[in-house]
Structure 1
Amino acid sequence: MTENITRFTRTDADGNITVHTVDHDRHGNAETMAQVANESDRFTAEFRSQADFSASLPEDIRTVLSGASSKITATLAKVDAAVAQRAKYLADDTLFPQGRERLASEATGKAAKEVAEALAQADVAITIAEADLFVAARPKLSHEAGMAARADAQMVLNGVDNHQLANRIKELAAQDGPIGALMASDWLDLYITSRGMEKDLADAIKTRVAHAVFTAAAQSGDRKRAAAGRTALALGTLRKSAIAARVYSRNKLSK
């Protein structure tokens, strides 16, 4: 028996992986799907209220994220239009039964492809924006301060085993000073590589550092860094909106 289930994975700031499961057979009724669409809209509105779209945020990032959120919202309307068109074809008794079925299938198939492409583009846009936000949120580090910070960081980290390293680096990254700036720089990649870490652990460390950088930036007195930090921390709600839109489209267009 084939499962009619969609699974999504998310990794939090501590590197923990959570699997979200949606059973379409159990949650596929019209009322529940309407709630899913509403959730997508709610998450998008929540993102827009949490993010900082002021002039303190670089214009290119504002443009990318505004486009991504608009794409997600537009998919819901596209799904509803395709479902209405399918119903119209199926109710048209001037067509032969096979013709009705073919036109109905083509309407939803075309919409499903376009929605999948739009959501994939939104995912890519969010990922690109997050990388740009990291650059905008991290504190600046002068050459002289960097040299001293590297010496201090190596003294602290060299005595920590790989299993405790992630927590220690996260603590250092949360500091709003030279060492915190160093943890957000390219130096960290070089240091992690020198420790010979496995990719999964290295990725978990980078995730923790990014979250620490965004949190510190959001609370900083630098308007540009604060805007980048607040916006980056809000991206989780925009990703939730995309997940809900994807569940909605798969369920409504697969019938």
Structure 2
Amino acid sequence: MRLRSLLKQVGIFSIVGLLAFSLVGCGQSKKEVLVVGLDDTFAPMGFKDENGEIVGFDIDLAKAVGEKMGKEMKFQSIDWSMKEAELNAKNIDFIWNGYSITDERKEQVAFGTPYLKNRQIIITLADSPINTKADLKDKVVGAQTGSTAVDAIETEPEVLATFKDGKPVTYETNNDVLMDLEAGRLDAVVADEIIVKYYISKKGAEKYKILDEDFGEEEYGVGMRKEDTALVEAFNKAYAELKQEGKLAEISNTWFGEDITQ
């Protein structure tokens, strides 16, 4: 009797254990609301409009992907310099806001299918004497903290060393960087081409100059936790379907006037 009782208890505990394991393994698929972390000043990807509503290309894309996946997308503003920490602490499920794919970031997150190409460009005011990277010598150059603009600059230490104080001046948001350029506190800015072109289109492109030289090309991707393999697969499947159906082109045309997706 004792042996039979013991075996029965072992069987019960085994079943409970298997159930617990299966629930952990399908955690993301059970969530009905997925949280997108973003910098809400990053127009046109994700930003607050005049009514305080978060809008943008990435917002429309996330909603379309969520609809395909049968999930509701919630948008949460975060400190962009802490984005990977927010993701891995499970405060958010996606980093989705003009998030550039780099080897360093691949070590921390899993990326979905790349969806936009971008360059790290150099922008000045129209009347600036700066026309090349060599002209940045002894100049005050700005960039956003925790951005790939800073990373891109650091890949060219010979150029970086010529900046005033040997480093860029960093700001919490790209808006802050570009506003200081306008105010004359910066001589040049390094930032995402997609963001800069949208910004100057609203401010008056004739006031600015984009240099022919840049700090390299990159791609935007959506970051997810490495262990959330089912979520990555679901995202990629939804993205491919939206592209095939022409929905990506439709969203791109709304925000950029042309299809720049890939």
Q: Is TM-score (shorter-chain normalized) higher than 0.5?
A: no
- Which of 1 and 2 has higher RCO (CA within 8 Å, sep 6+)? 1
Which one has the bigger strand percentage? 2
Which one has the bigger helix percentage? 1
Q: TM-score, normalised by structure 1?
A: 0.30
Q: TM-score, normalised by structure 2?
A: 0.30
